[in-house]
Each structure stands twice: as structure tokens, then as C-alpha cells.
Structure 1
Amino acid sequence: MNIKTILVHLDHADRCSARVDLARAIARTQGAHLIGLLPSGLLEGTVPADALPTGMTDYIAESARYLQQRAQGIAEGFRARMGQISHEVRETDGTTIGSLVAHGRSSDLVVVGQEDRASESDVPVRGLVAQVMLDVGRPVLVVPYAGNFEQVGQDVLLAWDGSRAAAVAMREALPLLAHARRVTLASFRRTASSQEDALLIPDMTRWLQRHGVEATVEQHVTEIDTSDALLSRVSDLGADLVVMGGYGHSRLRERVLGGVTREVLAHMTVPVLIAH
């Protein structure tokens, strides 16, 4: 089982190139087709205040022209980085989140950037990771807003809590795990007895083995927050990828991520593959 179609979010932020480089590296390893999805920003009103000349007579037309020219520049930059990788650019005037969800459903992996609230980008798409993860029905690879990540999957930490979401994430990560040098299956709980039987760790390790993945098992009892313990272990291991389940509330309520998911995505230092 390989990843055959990868969708990467393109925008004009400085971190777009890091996102593209990582997506390209995975596409090369997997023999995948790489789609650069490029929302123009037309429906989101993302024209910087100083981008257009003063005294114009048709602000709407000038704004559309500016966004079109900006999109052309982003597309050219994407194509220039591809080399021999099979690729295409899909430009859309739809909203960023709606476009990522719609096009992501015909992909095997969706690559997006971690939200950076300190960014000066004029495209502040708040809640992008959460919305896409909850709606797209595909695994989402989140790239941190700091650091360089030209490849992932050499040293992987699987965050296992026995949940449906974690099981889905591990299944979706199999194509990446096949190329890993080290895989660690780690669980974190507050007491030695809580949920131990529900984790079925021997069953999970045998399942991984049948897929050719040998995992080292770690079971941690921790008094600190699970997210802090997980991120600390990532640092200790020198892991370059975290695989975990993602959680959110019902569609009938405000869309907010579960506590561990939210904290990991806020403070991650390596890419996170997440599924819901």
C-alpha cells in the first residue's frame, strides 16, 4: 500500500516552501502525484491594505487582478521546485478550508501548515487544521511553523491510546512506516492500571509486524499532562514524525479540538500525521 496522491496547501506565507519541500520528498519516496492546491483568496478578502495603488476607480477589479498575479507567482514557484515529480497546480476561488476538504477527499494525504498566530500573513485562516482534519476523511500531515523538514518517517512515534482515531491514524501511516528506521509505539496514562487492558498493545504490535513494521513498545505512567509527556518523549527520542488520532466535539457544537490534540498541535516541534 502506497500513497499515490498528495495534496499540499499553497499560499504566499514564508512557510509554504517548507511545506512543499516535505510534500515533494514524500511524493518522491512513495511514487505519488503531488497536487498544489492554491486558493486565490478572492472569497476571503485577503488583499493587503497597501497592495493596491491609491485613487483607483474599480477596487474589486484591481483586487481580483492582484490576487490573480499573486497566485501565478505562487504556482510558478511551486512548479520550479518539483523537478521530475509528477505534479499539478489547482487554482480555486473557493474558501481555503472548503477547497482543502473538497479536493483532499480525492487524495491519500493532505499536507497543511501549523497555525501561527504570530504570523503577519494576510491570510489568517483560523482553525484550518481542525476543520480540515474533522471533515476531509483523509490523514492530514501538519508541518510546524518553525524548522526545516525535508523528510519524515525515519524515526516515528506512534501515540497509542486504544481509540478509534488512533487506530485510523496508524493504518493511514503504514506507507510511511514501511520506510522507517525506528518505530516507537508509546502509550501515556495517569495510573498503572487505567485502560491497560483496553490498549491491547500485544495485538497492535503483532498487527504492525504483519505489515512489516517492528515497533518498540513504551508504556508511560505520567503525572503531567499527556500532551506534555508526549512532546517530551518526542524530543528524547529525536523522533521526526508523530502519528496520533485527532479529536473534536460534535458538529452540533462549536468546533474545538480535544485537549491533547489541541496542545500537541499548538506546541509541536516535528510534523504530526493526524486522522479523525
Structure 2
Amino acid sequence: MAYKDIVVYLDPTSDTDDRLKLAISMAHTHGARLIGVDACSQAAFDGPWRDRATGLQDQFDEAVRRDGISGEFHTETGSRNGDFHPYAHYADLIIASQPLFEARDLVAQAIPEDILLTAGVPMLLLPYKWQYQPIGKKVVIAWNASREATRAVHDAMPILRAAEGVTIFTFSSLKSSPQQEQDRLIAHLRRHGVSAQATSWQSDDDISPVEALFASLDTVDADLVVAGAYGHSPALEKWLGGASRELSETPAIPVLMSH
């Protein structure tokens, strides 16, 4: 798999500048066409953010022209209050941010969760107020041998192949051992030209897998987490306090997620 079409969602918040910068960088790296999609809610055009919202196409066009990449911009005014973003179905990767606090009202409600669940495409989810830096040098795979985690690993393969370091992180109880599953994934990745190491957090204490992930020393220098998304339905995840929701709602570093 290669990333040849990358969608980046743009909105009037200050996060858009760094998100677009990352999207440009990744389009360069992978020789991809960049598709900018207006992700503004109607509220973004009704107040002080209007100038930023109406200037998104000019900002995008100037960025792709300056950096010499193939790009196109689309405005989906019909999806302002809905969840229909058709360009997500014709891409290899989606780049979006988690809109929190005042940003939530300025961004279409479908982003990020509904798009992640319905697009069939991996999403690179950036934290709220994330500041640009290269990603993919040191990657942590949050591994639980599920369908979603497997999909995420394969969707991230172009990044994993180029990474300087890849760590497989597994969370388990004290009664089980993840070593066999980790060894199988290490061997599989090796056949794809990816060298990986493994670490695990074994505990029966009241700590969530996501809390353990970010408490692990192996994530301190990581710039990207690769994880499966929503093994249960979103409603059940919310009821159970699911790891997918916890990871996507408050990401500490960029997360590439697949459903």
C-alpha cells in the first residue's frame, strides 16, 4: 500500500495551519495528491471566524503552489450540519484534528469520529493545539491482536517502513503473556522490511490500556501511535469507557487509527 491520495480537513481554527503543513510534508514524502476539504460548520461563517473560513481555499491553493505538489480543494456546503464527506472514500489517508472546546462548534460534527467509522480509510488524528513537527520517526504500535489493530498496522505500513524505530506495546493482565503475539507481529513486520522491538505492561490494577501506553517509557520519545479503532460499537465503547474513545478524544501525540 502507498499513500497516493491524502485528504486533509481544513477549518478556521489555528490548528489548521500546522495540520496543512503536515499534510503538505506527507504529500511530498509519498508523492501523493493532496485533497483539501472544507470542514467548517455553519457556525464558522456566522461570527468572528468568518474571514478564516472563507479564506481556506486561498490558503490551501497558495500552500500547494508554493510547495509544488499536486492538490485540489473542495467545499461541501451540503455537509455543514451532516455527516457526508464523500472525498474520504477516495483516499488512502485522512488527516484531521480533534476539535475540542471552542473549536468543536466550528468544525463539522462528523469529524473525526463519524468519518473514522464510515470512510474505510485510516485517519491520522492530531491532538488539539498540536504544533507541527515531523512524525513517523519513532512509532509505537498499540497491539491487541484484534481485527482493527491488524488493519491499522497494514494501513500504517508506508510509515513503518521509513521509521527509525518501531515499538510494539501490549497491555495485558498478570495472568496472560503477550510474548507469542508480539513475536508473530515482529516476524510479520520483518518480512515487510520493518525492524521492531516489543514491550508490554502487565497489570491487574485499575489502570486503562491508554494510561499504561502513555506511562510507558517507550512512548516518551515516540511521535506517532498506531492503533485500531472501535472494536465495539461507539455506543458500547462509550458505555464501557473504551480505549478507542479515550485515545481519540484526548490524544497526547498524533495517532493513526483504523476501523
Fold conserved between structures, TM > 0.5: yes
Aligned position for 2:165: 182
- CA, structure 1 residues 189+115, in 2 after alignment: closer, same or farther (shift >3 Å)? farther
| Structure 1 residue 184, shift from structure 2 partner | 0.3
Q: Kindly provide the amino acid, as one letter, of the partner of residue 191 in structure 2.
A: R
Large movers: runs of 4+ above 6 Å: none
Number of positions where the alignment pairs a residue of Structure 1 with one of Structure 2 = 253
Q: Which moved more, 1:1-10 or 1:120-129?
A: 120-129
1:23 aligns with 2:23: yes
Contact 1:242 1:270 in 2 (8 A): yes
- CA, structure 1 residues 232+263, in 2 after alignment: closer, same or farther (shift >3 Å)? same
Structure 2 segments unaligned to the other structure (5+ residues) = none
Aligned position for 1:216: 197
Between structure 1 and structure 2, the one with the greater Rg is: 1
Contact 2:10 2:40 in 1 (8 A): no
- The CA RMSD measured in Å over matched residues stands at 2.6
Q: Secondary structure at the match of 2:19?
A: helix
Aligned position for 2:83: 98
Q: Secondary structure at the match of 1:203?
A: helix
Q: Hey, what's the Cα distance between the residues in 1 that align with 2:217 and 2:69? A: 31
Contact 1:48 1:122 in 2 (8 A): no
Tell me the TM-score normalized by structure 2. Answer: 0.87
Q: Kindly provide the amino acid, as one letter, of the partner of residue 48 in structure 1.
A: D
Q: Hey, what's the Cα distance between the residues in 1 that align with 2:176 and 2:167? A: 21
Give the 5 Å matches for 1:1-276.
1-39=1-39, 41=41, 44=42, 46-49=44-47, 71-82=53-64, 83-96=67-80, 98-100=83-85, 102-116=86-100, 118-119=101-102, 122-126=105-109, 128-193=111-176, 196=178, 200-222=181-203, 223=205, 224-233=207-216, 236-247=219-230, 249-250=232-233, 256=238, 259-276=242-259
Q: Kindly provide the amino acid, as one letter, of the partner of residue 25 in structure 2.
A: A
Q: Kindly provide the amino acid, as one letter, of the partner of residue 98 in structure 2.
A: Q
Q: Kindly provide the amino acid, as one letter, of the partner of residue 94 in structure 2.
A: V
Structure 1 segments unaligned to the other structure (5+ residues) = 52-65
Q: Deviations over 1:129-183 (max 9, x none)?
A: 2211111100011011123233210000000001000000000000111110000
Q: Hey, what's the Cα distance between the residues in 2 that align with 1:3 and 1:120? A: 28
- CA, structure 1 residues 183+226, in 2 after alignment: closer, same or farther (shift >3 Å)? same
Contact 1:24 1:34 in 2 (8 A): yes
Q: Secondary structure at the match of 1:81?
A: helix
Contact 2:40 2:106 in 1 (8 A): no
Q: Secondary structure at the match of 2:106?
A: coil
- CA, structure 1 residues 268+165, in 2 after alignment: closer, same or farther (shift >3 Å)? same
Q: Kindly provide the amino acid, as one letter, of the partner of residue 94 in structure 1.
A: G
Q: Kindly provide the amino acid, as one letter, of the partner of residue 77 in structure 1.
A: Q
Q: Hey, what's the Cα distance between the residues in 2 that align with 1:218 and 1:121? A: 36
Q: Hey, what's the Cα distance between the residues in 2 that align with 1:259 and 1:160? A: 15
- CA, structure 1 residues 205+50, in 2 after alignment: closer, same or farther (shift >3 Å)? closer
Q: Deviations over 1:194-214 (max 9, x none)?
A: 6x48x6222211110010000
Q: Deviations over 1:246-270 (max 9, x none)?
A: 016448x688596111112233221
Q: What's the % identity of the aligned pairs?
A: 31
Tell me the TM-score normalized by structure 1. Answer: 0.82
